[in-house]
Amino acid sequence: MIRATRILVPVNGNPTDEEAVALACEVARRGKASVYAIYVIEVKRTMPLDVDLPPEAAKGDGVLARAEHVADEFGVDLETEILQARDVARGTEPGGSGRTRALGGRERPLGRGIRSSSSWAAGAWALALR
């Protein structure tokens, strides 16, 4: 069995978010792992990557607040962040650009082990980062 030390849960506002966060928290509690939730705002190519998008950021804040509530029920500390990226699915695929911009303004590579589906909006997955 693989033992995760860090668990990443991408959330997007779908009903499956709570289940994914709950699963990650359950695994984290058993293995004393850290849990991270991210909400990614997809930025159109016609806009700068660090463009201010208040409605999208407000939605992300709400989604992450619900994730924190679930983590609180499990007694697990959850670190959250909103990221902005050009193409969420492509940026997280192996061989993709893997670059994002956090709302704090720093550009950085996504964590190792992040995988995605061609339809990010279809659901959220808890992924163990090695």
pTM of this prediction exceeds 0.75:
no
* pLDDT top residue among 66 and 30: 66
| Residues 54 and 61 sit within 8 Å (Cβ to Cβ) | no
Q: At what angle do helices 54-74 and 16-31 cross, to 10 degrees?
A: 50
Measure the CA–CA gap between 63 and 1, rounded to whole angstroms: 31
* pLDDT top residue among 103 and 15: 15
Q: Could you give the C-alpha distances from 28 to 1, 21, 44, 74, in angstroms and in order?
A: 14, 10, 35, 10
Domains along the sequence of the chain with CATH = 6-120 (3.40.50.620)
Measure the CA–CA gap between 2 and 95, rounded to whole angstroms: 24
Q: Are β-strands 6-11 and 34-42 bridged in parallel, bridged antiparallel, or unpaired?
A: parallel
**E strand segments, 14-98:** 34-42, 78-85
Nearest to 8 by CA among 31, 29, 39: 39
7-21, 30-44, 78-92: segment of lowest average pLDDT? 78-92
Measure the CA–CA gap between 6 and 28, rounded to whole angstroms: 8
Check residue 3 and give its pLDDT.
Answer: 79
Q: How confident is the model at residue 4 (pLDDT cuts 50, 70, 90)?
A: confident
